[in-house]
């Protein structure tokens, strides 16, 4: 017995040594020191232009019966008038009447072009919520160091800082060696099926293959992940796909005075509860693993211990991450979100069917078919039909772009030059962007904006009190100025 205990004790000591050594080696040993760069940006001008941009009600309704394109045409005219040097220097082609595609011709045809993208359409303000805004959503008010309004972060600010950067470079007489495209879409919020897809088809027809593109999709996150002193720049190298399944529950209809023990709405409710109780399996692998490993190297000893020894603590780590935040959980798995429920036409009539639309954001490991199979098994009720919704909004998860390319390295280097001592990691965009179209003509596609955001800033996306800091407008202009200058000069 003593011999067995001695052997067990020795094994425990060996295990402890292995764990501690792996933890010690798992650290941010590669300290990146990049000199800070200061660009002279006209703070008042970029602020005023952001205010003016917000005032155009370029709302994508998703319904052609209610869609008003006059503000879109007015916005395009405003861009032309506000940035005359851009119009004089860079060729503009309109795609689908409202998307702006600029081509800044490079001097070296042997270099593959790059493309910077954004969109100027915005989501509607929820009817009845206008009074919850600190300032009217389309007034473009300045207060407390912010410009307030719909589109301030998603994504008119991105469009404005790119235009400001291009205008500054044009005034300086900059001539790119590498051709630079700037694409500003008008329908990203409803899938980009005319704008970004039209740009993609145009480039295909011209035989253009981009070295890389950069779109919205992530930011420099400050305080979003607790326990980290440094902001985290997540340069997203992939994005989730999107699909929606329709669940149709069948049950006995009839008069409400004599209900059966279980009707269609009961059956549907049970199906949705079962589905939510059985989330699609996740896991820390691929892009998600690289993200958390890169962050953890700069974290506490306890976090480094868990991440460095996933062979031992993998299950614990994944459960902790999933429970820590919705964002972390979304990085690990395909998410499940019931979004629309319909049943009944009259209060005294029991409907024979009840339907629900359930949206899934596809992790790169999953496919639409595997998700549908999981849903059918989780519901486990033959009275519920499960079918794909053909709404034109479905998209497979993207391919994963390179972290070793010149594009990724330049994007990260510029972020450090402008924002200082930050953690740079690859990431996964959990929503959808126009890159699902642009990536068809790009060797690599990155999703990242040069803006530093907090949890409070993120809460405004598609919600109430959307805002952008004036500091972000200034630094964002500086960053895109450097990005174009550096990336297009080699």
| Residue 222 annotated to the active site | no
Question: What is the C-alpha separation between 299 and 11, in angstroms, rounded?
Answer: 28
Provide the β-strand partners of residue 213. Answer: 115, 445
SS3 of residue 207 by DSSP: coil
Question: What is the C-alpha separation between 256 and 251, in angstroms, rounded?
Answer: 13
473-487 burial code (b ≥16 CB/10 A, e <16): bbbbbbbbbbbbbeb
Question: What is the C-alpha separation between 438 and 443, in angstroms, rounded?
Answer: 10
Name the nearest CA neighbour of 181 among 462, 442, 6, 382.
442
DSSP H stretches of helix in 83-194: 84-89, 156-171
What is the DSSP secondary-structure string of 322-383? HHH-HHHHHHHS-EEEEEEEEE-SSTTEE-SEEEEEEEEEE-TT--HHHHHHHHHHHH--TT
From 154, 155, 187, 188, active-site residue: 188
Contact 115, 181 (CB under 8 A): yes
Bond into 95 cis (ω within 30): no
Question: What is the C-alpha separation between 198 and 489, in angstroms, rounded?
Answer: 28
Question: What is the C-alpha separation between 96 and 60, in angstroms, rounded?
Answer: 15
Determine phi and psi for 237, rounding to 5 degrees. Answer: -100, 0
Contact 458, 431 (CB under 8 A): no
| Residue 188 annotated to the active site | yes
From 121, 164, 215, 444, active-site residue: 121
Contact 179, 111 (CB under 8 A): yes
In terms of C-beta density within 10 A (0-12 exposed, 13-18 middle, 19 or more buried), how is residue 300 classed? Answer: exposed
Name the nearest CA neighbour of 332 among 298, 285, 378.
285
Q: How would you classify the pairing of strands 114-119 and 180-185?
A: parallel
Catalytic residues: 121, 188
């Amino acid at each position: 017995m003593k011999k067995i205990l001695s052997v067990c004790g020795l094994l425990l000591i060996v295990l402890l040594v292995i764990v501690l050594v792996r933890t010690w080696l798992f650290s941010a040993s590669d300290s990146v020191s990049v000199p800070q760069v200061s660009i002279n940006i006209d703070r008042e001008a970029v602020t005023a232009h952001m205010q003016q941009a917000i005032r155009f009600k370029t709302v994508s309704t998703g319904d052609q019966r209610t869609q008003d394109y006059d503000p879109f045409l007015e916005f395009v005219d405003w861009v032309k008038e506000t940035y005359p040097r851009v119009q004089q220097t860079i060729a503009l082609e309109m795609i689908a009447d409202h998307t702006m595609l600029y081509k800044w011709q490079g001097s070296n045809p042997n270099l593959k072009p790059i493309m910077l993208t954004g969109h100027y359409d915005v989501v509607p303000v929820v009817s009845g919520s206008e009074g919850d805004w600190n300032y009217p959503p389309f007034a473009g008010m300045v207060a407390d160091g912010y410009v307030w309004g719909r589109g301030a972060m998603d994504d008119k600010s991105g469009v404005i800082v790119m235009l400001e950067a291009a205008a500054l470079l044009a005034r300086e007489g900059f001539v790119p060696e590498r051709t630079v495209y700037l694409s500003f879409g008008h329908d990203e919020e409803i899938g980009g099926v005319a704008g970004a897809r039209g740009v993609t088809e145009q480039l295909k027809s011209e035989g253009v293959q981009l070295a890389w593109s950069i779109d919205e999709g992530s930011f420099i996150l400050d305080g979003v992940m607790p326990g980290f002193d440094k902001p985290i720049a997540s340069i997203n190298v992939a994005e989730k796909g999107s699909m929606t399944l329709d669940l149709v529950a069948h049950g006995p209809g009839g008069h409400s005075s004599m209900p059966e023990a279980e009707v269609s709405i009961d059956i549907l409710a049970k199906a949705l509860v079962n589905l939510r109780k059985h989330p699609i399996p996740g896991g820390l692998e691929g892009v998600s693993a690289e993200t958390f490993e890169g962050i953890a190297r700069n974290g506490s000893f306890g976090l480094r211990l868990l991440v460095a020894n996933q062979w031992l603590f993998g299950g614990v780590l994944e459960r902790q991450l999933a429970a820590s935040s919705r964002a972390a959980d979304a990085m690990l798995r395909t998410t499940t979100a019931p979004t629309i429920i319909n049943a009944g036409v009259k209060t005294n009539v029991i409907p024979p069917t009840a339907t629900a639309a359930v949206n899934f954001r596809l992790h790169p490991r999953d496919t639409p078919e595997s998700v549908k199979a999981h849903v059918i098994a989780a519901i486990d009720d033959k009275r519920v039909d499960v079918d794909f919704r053909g709404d034109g909004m479905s998209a497979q998860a993207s391919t994963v772009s390179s972290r070793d390319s010149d594009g990724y390295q330049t994007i990260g280097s510029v972020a450090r030059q402008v924002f200082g001592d930050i953690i740079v990691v690859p990431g996964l965009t959990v929503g959808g962007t126009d890159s699902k179209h642009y990536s068809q003509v790009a060797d690599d596609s990155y999703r990242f904006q040069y803006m530093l955001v907090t949890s409070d800033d993120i809460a405004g996306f598609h919600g109430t009190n959307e805002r952008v800091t004036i500091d972000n407008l200034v630094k964002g202009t500086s960053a895109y100025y450097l990005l174009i200058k550096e990336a297009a000069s080699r």
